[in-house]
């Protein structure tokens, strides 16, 4: 059965403000006696390690369509703790979500399918309890309103 991925929702190790505060505290605690010019040079040494966006992703929730189903998969690191100041890559693997899909009937309209996707996604986030993680739904929420999922399902070969 052919599946087409329509959304990827990133999972960050922590919220952006927490990450930035940890870096701010790190710089203040370790380099408080240097002038502003030297501080900027020190911050450059830690670039891009001190950039939150994309560098702190530790997993994804993917949403795929097939001819009769909507599928949810979770790709995540098995690590439980993540350091804000890390030089190591966190590898991501499929965690094999069993049962996280729902059937799409021929008479289900686009709005019904979208509402079910949102409901199932929210339930997945609640059930998996992503403790201390940040699920970035911003792109999903922007894009879901513009996609006709019913047409995409109907046009699958």
**Tokens matching residue 17:** 């403000």
Residue 130: the pLDDT is 76
Q: 43 or 150: whose pLDDT is higher?
A: 150
Asked whether the beta carbons of 143 and 117 are under 8 A apart, the reply is: no
Asked whether the beta carbons of 93 and 78 are under 8 A apart, the reply is: yes
**Considering its fold, how many domains does the chain have in total?**
1
Please write the tens of the pLDDT for every residue from 76-120: 877 666 565 566 666 667 777 778 999 999 999 999 999 999 999
Can you name the residues that pair with 9 across neighbouring β-strands? 61
Residue with tokens 């992703």: 57
Q: With 0-12 CB in 10 A as exposed, 13-18 as middle and 19+ as buried, what is 56?
A: buried
The answer to the question of residue 11 being in a domain is: yes
**Domain coverage including residue 109:** 4-18+50-154
Residue 68: the pLDDT is 93
Residue 50: the pLDDT is 73
Residue 67: the pLDDT is 92
Q: Looking at residue 79, what DSSP letter applies?
A: -
């Amino acid at each position: 059965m052919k599946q087409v991925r329509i959304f990827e929702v990133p999972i960050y190790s922590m919220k952006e403000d927490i990450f930035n505060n940890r870096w701010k505290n790190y710089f203040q605690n370790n380099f408080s006696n240097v002038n502003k010019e030297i501080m900027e040079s020190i911050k450059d040494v830690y670039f891009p390690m001190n950039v939150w966006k994309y560098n702190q992703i530790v997993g994804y929730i993917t949403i795929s369509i097939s001819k009769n189903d909507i599928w949810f998969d979770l790709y995540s690191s098995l690590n439980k703790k993540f350091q804000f100041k890390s030089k190591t890559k966190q590898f991501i693997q499929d965690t094999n979500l069993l049962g996280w899909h729902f059937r799409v009937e021929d008479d289900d309209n686009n709005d019904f399918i979208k509402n079910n996707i949102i409901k199932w996604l929210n339930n997945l986030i609640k059930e998996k309890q992503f403790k201390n993680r940040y699920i970035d739904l911003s792109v999903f929420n922007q894009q879901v309103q513009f996609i006709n999922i019913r047409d995409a399902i109907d046009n699958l070969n």
